[in-house]
Structure 1
Amino acid sequence: MTGFRGMRFVMDLVKRFTPKRESLTGNESLSDKQLEEVQPVDVQTSTTLTVIKRHKWSLAVGVGVIALTGVITFAGHEYVEAGMDEVYHVMLNNQEVGIVSDTKIIDEYKKNKPLDVQKNFPDVHVVLKTDGITYTSERAYNMKTDDSAVISSLDQLLIPQPVGVALKVDGKTVAIVKDQATADQILNQVSEPFTPKGKNSEKVAALSTGLGEDISTAPSELEKVEFVQKIDKEEVPIDPTELAKPEDVVKTLQTGNVAPAKYTVVEGDCVSCIAKKLGITKQFIYDNNPGIQDDKLKIGNQLDVTVLKPTLSVKTTEKIVKNQEIQYDTEYVKDDSMRLGVVQPISPGKNGLKKVTIQVTKVDGLMTEEQVVNEEIIDQPVTAKVKKGTKVIKGEGTGKFAWPVISPSISSTFGYRWGKLHKGIDITGNRNIMAADNGKVIETGYKSDYGNYIIINHLNGYETLYGHLSQITTKSGTIVEKGEKIGIMGSTGDSTGVHLHFEIHSSGSLENPLKYLNR
């Protein structure tokens, strides 16, 4: 179209300025006299001049037309160029919508229109899919554009779509909420109660060595928090009436919508009896019913035995650091002049100190696993020297304990757990159980809490207890030596897995075995 208009314009100019043939018969350009004055040099020159003289007007007209055509063509081109514009064809999903004069109009529309639409739907998240809007440029002569018509057409063609976020637990949709931010807020509310309060502190409070510590509630450093189940958040088209209230979703995730359960105490009931009857732990009954004192129950009392089954469980991995005393050793100097059993101190001993790092795993705030991951000696113990008689009593211990298990690993440390004292340490490893020191087996048998157990008196003020054995290979009254096999590891009694429960008593008082056992 542009080339046609330019050529037509040029032709009009040529026609307007080209002289008629009859007007070129005079002497306007070159006179006959001037041509006669040119003397021919030779025949060829003479012939050439004759031709020029004969066609002088045609040549003059041709040269003029060529020059004029060049001028007119240049002027026409400039005229067309002056009418050319850059325009933009706007398309939605490859279908043309219209033509606009500037790309900024479309760019601003794609940026601002979704925000304007969202303002009209404050209670639900809406999506306006503007990704399909594209444009191409074209240079055209006097092509018409209509910016407002294009914008109006886009407004009619683009339909806002309400969307929500489907919150899924292990692939099952639990609820549909407004948006990703709401879903994240719900998950934070579920995990927050189980997150240690001191999680942001760089230093972990070190526990002392007393019996009153409860490692399950001790200050700790949060290493990791995660959900046991797989969580997915997926954006989906919705009907706004499908949206769930965030507080209702939190409750569902935390409790599984389990109805409260009560148990009425009857004659002959005890805590362990009720726990066995309902398939729950004694500790669960204590935790849900803090009013129980010394295992005393009254007939007719109602106990809360509601077992919540959270839809979403929170798993935390925490680090606890505690200071633990190291029991000093005693070096005995034999004295033949002293009778058996008589001892005299030569120099006192001093307990050392070590820093024990324990990694604790909890699910929904309940400790499920603990592991000693590091021990650092702070103060070395000082060995005591004692003079004693040379007459040795058979079975008397050395006062220095060995690990009762080969390749030991501590699965639970000494201290309080949820308001109840864990009297020893739990050890896993090789299943053969050995005497920790020389001594005399004074008791073997079975108890509901210890299962199959052995007690050894080391005849020096110390006693050791070995619990949860699957088999006892010694008997009461037997004299055993340090490292001698006395049983096989098991999971009898009140046990949650195969392990050895190991206790140390000194003069009738409980001691932390880690005070005597070092890696």
Structure 2
Amino acid sequence: MTGFRGMRFVMDLIKRFTPKRESLTGNESISDKQLEESTTTTTLTVMKRHKWSLALGVSAIALTGVITFTGHQYVEAGMVNVYHVKLDGQEIGIVSDNKIIDEYKQRKPQEVQQKFPDVHVVLKTNEVTYEPERAYNLKSDDSAVLASLDELLVPQPVGIELKVDGKTIAIVKDQQTADRILEQVSAPFAPKAKETAKVAALSTGIGEDITTAPSELEKVEFVQKVDTNEVPIQPNDLAKPEDVVKKLKTGDVQPAKYTVVEGDCVSCIAKKLGITKQFIYDKNPGLQDDKLKIGNQLDVTVLKPTLSVKTTERVVQNQEIQYDTEYVKDDSLRVGVVQPISAGKNGLKKVTIQVTKVDGLMTEEKLVNEEIIDNPVMAKVKKGTKVIQGEGSGKFAWPVVSPSISSTFGMRWGKLHKGIDITGNKNIMTADNGKVTETGYKSDYGNYIIINHLNGYETLYGHLSKITTTEGTIVEKGDKIGIMGSTGDSTGVHLHFEIHKSGSLENPLKYLNR
């Protein structure tokens, strides 16, 4: 303050002795130059008269600068960096270092989880934030802040809610537990140790069961919609993983038994209970050839899994291609006499079948590709010129226009599927020239037709909704003989088609090519 007063004193002196622009004794004005000279003279005079006061003012100014600089240094030395800690936006205290909070947020959830090993615990440390500030002599209290966080952050037990088609099945510890449960449900139905390399080496015999044949897994999925989401819980809400697996697999269905009574047969029981004959055979492996004894108990437990597993597999099989025969007419031979000229040879093709299973049971099969490996060699024979009415050529045509195979020939769950199932145009045509030898109804075939081609071959057409021919009729290849249906032991509208040669079953795909 002394420096400022000294400066003000000097300025007052100069102002006091500086002449006005008007003369003191009159009204005469002085010029600017005269005023400037007068002011300069006055200033020098004042400085001479008041040397001590002027020196004192200058010293005061210098002293003020020193004090200001020293004060700034003192304040700067008292400045500190601190961090305002907030929980969900509300300040709870000040810490000296942000690392204290970072380490706490990393350490505390682990400590809490160790205290609750049987449940998954969430600690909302993400709601803890901090803001830096540089301030003078602002006090922090690290331990008080951490103590407040311990008190305010309440551990929340959470679990994973497992839902199937929107229905809550159970609550389990965490997502890893839920994933393991779902894996345990699906794992039994995924093909094991079935390498693609083995598939190409399959035999072509009729004993090969497509349901258990080596295959390449294309896809595993659940039939129902599965959802998992995190929910707050009480520890006693958690279900045991093994109980959840059992519930998903069986639907908590209790075992069911059926006692055989007089007059029962497998197909009768199946129809009565609304199940298939195949299901009864599968559940009762000791049952042979429809032989039932009164009083026997059959396992007819129909499991209704809460969660069903759908697999899509690709099976590759080698199948024979039947060779054709060229007939050379010979007038010297009697009617019906055939003499070989050159032998024929069957070819070989690789067929790829896509198999769909639900809970390990095949629900659909689809022929997706055929690849010729060896072409057949045509046989050549001499034949009498007289044509026998109804005699087949030995070369078969598809009995359905725009055919699509829904089930191939071979073993199914330990039993032989004797032909192929075909869908397409519903008009059924004879596959070759022949004579209708049998029509009627059987519990397994439904409405059926058998044609004798008078050359060692017979064909059978099953599950027809309507038969449009009669026994004894001579038919030619392509003649309409019936309409496709779903009669007998059938699932869905299709034609069941069989080929027999000299009384033995043949794979129709040996004679029919795309």
Give me the TM-score of the superposition, normalised by structure 2. Answer: 0.91
The offset of 1:204, in angstroms, is 5.1
Question: What is the distance in 2 between the residues matched to 1:143 and 1:426?
Answer: 88
Q: Which residue of 2 aligns with 1:82?
A: 77
The correspondence of residues 354-433 of structure 1 with structure 2, limited to 5 A, is: 354-433=349-428
Q: Which residue of 2 aligns with 1:205?
A: 199
Q: What code does the residue aligned with 1:283 have?
A: Q
Q: Which residue of 2 aligns with 1:108?
A: 103
Where in structure 1 are there 5+ consecutive unaligned residues?
1-13, 25-41
The offset of 1:43, in angstroms, is 7.2
The correspondence of residues 153-192 of structure 1 with structure 2, limited to 5 A, is: 153-192=148-187
The offset of 1:427, in angstroms, is 0.4
Q: Which residue of 1 aligns with 2:509?
A: 514
The correspondence of residues 244-323 of structure 1 with structure 2, limited to 5 A, is: 244-323=239-318
Q: Which residue of 2 aligns with 1:8?
A: none
Question: What is the distance in 2 between the residues matched to 1:198 and 1:66?
Answer: 97
Aligned residues: 486
Q: Which residue of 2 aligns with 1:333?
A: 328
The correspondence of residues 340-355 of structure 1 with structure 2, limited to 5 A, is: 340-355=335-350
Q: Which residue of 1 aligns with 2:114?
A: 119
Q: What code does the residue aligned with 2:261 have?
A: V
- Is 1:144 the counterpart of 2:139? The answer is yes
Contact 2:6–2:57 (CA<8 Å) still a contact in 1? no
Contact 1:195–1:316 (CA<8 Å) still a contact in 2? yes
Q: Identity percentage over the alignment?
A: 81
Question: What is the distance in 2 between the residues matched to 1:247 and 1:88?
Answer: 49
The offset of 1:149, in angstroms, is 0.8
Q: Which residue of 1 aligns with 2:32?
A: none
Q: Which residue of 2 aligns with 1:438?
A: 433
The offset of 1:484, in angstroms, is 1.4
Question: What is the distance in 2 between the residues matched to 1:127 and 1:480?
Answer: 79
Q: What code does the residue aligned with 2:197 have?
A: K
The offset of 1:55, in angstroms, is 4.3
Q: Which residue of 2 aligns with 1:37?
A: none
Q: What code does the residue aligned with 2:181 have?
A: I
Secondary structure of the 2:126 match is coil
- Is 1:72 the counterpart of 2:71? The answer is no
The offset of 1:473, in angstroms, is 1.1
Contact 1:432–1:487 (CA<8 Å) still a contact in 2? yes
Where in structure 2 are there 5+ consecutive unaligned residues?
11-36
Q: What code does the residue aligned with 2:385 have?
A: T
> How far does the alpha carbon of each residue in 1:186-240 deviate from its partner, in whole angstroms, 9 at most, with x for none?
11111111111136x4535233210101101111111111111111112111111
Contact 2:6–2:58 (CA<8 Å) still a contact in 1? no
The offset of 1:497, in angstroms, is 0.4
Q: Which residue of 2 aligns with 1:60?
A: 55
Q: What code does the residue aligned with 1:400 have?
A: K
The correspondence of residues 195-234 of structure 1 with structure 2, limited to 5 A, is: 195-198=190-193, 201-203=195-197, 205-206=199-200, 207-234=202-229
Question: What is the distance in 1 between the residues matched to 2:354 and 2:67?
Answer: 93
Question: What is the distance in 1 between the residues matched to 2:445 and 2:53?
Answer: 132
Question: What is the distance in 2 between the residues matched to 1:194 and 1:481?
Answer: 47
> How far does the alpha carbon of each residue in 1:309-339 deviate from its partner, in whole angstroms, 9 at most, with x for none?
1111111111111111111111112222222
Contact 1:204–1:320 (CA<8 Å) still a contact in 2? no
Contact 1:198–1:220 (CA<8 Å) still a contact in 2? no
Question: What is the distance in 2 between the residues matched to 1:214 and 1:202?
Answer: 17
Give me the TM-score of the superposition, normalised by structure 1. Answer: 0.90
Q: Which residue of 2 aligns with 1:91?
A: 86
Contact 1:204–1:321 (CA<8 Å) still a contact in 2? no
Aligned-pair RMSD on alpha carbons? 2.0
Contact 1:441–1:479 (CA<8 Å) still a contact in 2? yes
Runs of 4 or more, structure 1, over 6 Å off, are: 17-21
Contact 1:426–1:499 (CA<8 Å) still a contact in 2? yes
